[in-house]
């Protein structure tokens, strides 16, 4: 579980710290106040870790891998022209810094990048493990009617959709697990 997010010089935010409650958190703000950027940054961090963990569960995170994968995911989800565009532009060049703290400190992660960064972030605090559960991003439009074909179209074409849409479509298409979670899932099914 993510406990807090501290950001410096991310797009519209000069400096901000968010302490999250263990269950439901609600972000309220005017258009353009940074709600989507905040959600997407948290999503990109969690999704990068969960994806790498799925690919190679026995390998611990390394700086070399994470500095590239985090940059790629941030660009794929927030879709700036280049990574450095996510660093706040005010007086000259600013460095964007992001720190995520978890209830399990082994997962704590901190990184930064500059306005001229393109394909790598700099890792300041490397987590010891990958996150085990995938985050879920529900976008503003419904995906249930398009998800079956969306992933293959996304993989093979240049589409003006954020990668979190594709990730959610993948999750919508995943098979139901057998086992203890089965009964819990059944309780959500339409009767």
In the complex, which residues of this chain contact ligand ADP (CB under 6 A)? 11-12, 29, 31-37, 85, 88-89
For 93, how many CA atoms within 13 A lie in the half-sphere containing its CB?
Answer: 7
Q: For residues 31 and 189, which CB has a smaller minimum distance to ligand ADP in the complex? A: 31
Residue from 3, 36, 99, 108 touching Mg ion (CB under 5 A): that is: 36
Considering only 32-40, 70-78, 97-105, 143-151, which stretch makes contact with Mg ion by CB under 5 A?
A: 32-40
Select from 171, 164, 190 the least CA-distant residue to 73: 164
The answer to whether 13 contacts Mg ion (rule: CB under 5 A) is no
16 binds, among ligand ADP, Mg ion, none (CB under 5 to 8 A by kind): none
* Shortest Å distance, C-beta 168 to ligand ADP: 18
Buried b / exposed e along 152-181 (16+ C-beta atoms within 10 A): eebeeeeeeebbbbbbbbeeeeeeeeeeee
Q: Which is nearer to ligand ADP, 55 or 93 (CB)?
A: 93
Order of strands, sheet of 122-125, starting from the edge strand that comes earlier in the sequence: 13-19, 2-10, 95-102, 109-114, 122-125
From the CB of 35, what's the least distance to ligand ADP, in Å? Answer: 3
Determine contact, residues 27/35, Cβ cutoff 8 Å: yes
Site residues (vs Mg ion, CB under 5 A): 36
């Amino acid at each position: 579980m993510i406990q807090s997010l501290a950001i410096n010089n991310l797009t519209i935010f000069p400096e901000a710290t968010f302490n999250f409650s263990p269950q439901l958190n609600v972000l309220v703000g005017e258009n353009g106040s940074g709600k989507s950027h905040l959600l997407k940054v948290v999503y990109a961090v969690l999704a990068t870790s969960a994806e790498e963990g799925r690919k190679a569960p026995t390998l611990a995170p390394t700086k070399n891998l994470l500095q590239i994968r985090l940059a790629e995911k941030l660009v794929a989800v927030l879709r700036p022209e280049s990574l450095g565009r996510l660093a706040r532009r005010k007086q000259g060049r600013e460095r964007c810094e992001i720190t995520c703290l978890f209830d399990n400190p082994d997962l704590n992660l901190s990184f930064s990048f500059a306005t001229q960064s393109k394909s790598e972030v700099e890792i300041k605090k490397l987590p010891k493990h990958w996150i085990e559960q995938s985050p879920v991003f529900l976008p503003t439009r419904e995906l249930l009617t398009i998800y079956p074909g969306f992933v293959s179209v996304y993989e093979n074409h240049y589409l003006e959709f954020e990668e979190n849409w594709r990730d959610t479509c993948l999750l919508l298409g995943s098979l139901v697990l057998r086992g203890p979670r089965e009964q819990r899932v059944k309780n959500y099914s339409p009767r």
